[in-house]
Amino acid sequence: MADTCGTLVKAAAVLKENGAKSVLALVTHGILSGNAIETLNGSVLSALVVTNTVPLGDKVERCPKLRVIDISPTIAEAIRRTHNGNSQPTCPRSITALYLILTPRQASRSRTSSTTLRSKPSRPGHGSRLFRLSKAAC
């Protein structure tokens, strides 16, 4: 999440000072409050990529460094799969991550390099669904 972008801009400056050719930042939620746009415009960041989870108004026009990714297809796919009882793919991770946010679950780490996720039954008498996510898969 990027709110006023002060910390983000300072981190980008440190990276440039230490030899980075360019700095690109990706954040899920671009709050961009206060003087965030002015801070970004005056920074060494080459671009800030945000999702459209927060309305940006005229901020995109005011900041040429700002790029927006539409995540509505990802959310729609997660909802469709959940509604139809389909399994969630391990890739892309964004669909799986959204499924985990939208579905009550219990997660437990195993000794292997994967996470086992069990979603709680949505109705009494219905079994839970088990998903195994491999860290190496993505």
Using one digit for the tens of pLDDT, what is the confidence trace for 55-96? 999 999 999 999 998 888 888 888 888 888 888 765 555 544
Looking at 25, 47, 69, which one is the last position of a domain? 69
43, 81: one domain: no
Bridge-partner residues for 133, per DSSP? Answer: 115
pTM over 0.85: no
Q: Return the exposure string of 85-120: e unless at least 16 CB atoms fall within 10 Å of the residue's CB, then b.
A: eeebbbeeebbbebbbeebeeeeeeeeeebeebebe
Q: Give me the domain span that covers residue 13.
A: 6-69
Angle between helices 93-102 and 72-84 (to 10 degrees): 60
Q: Are residues 46 and 86 in the same domain?
A: no
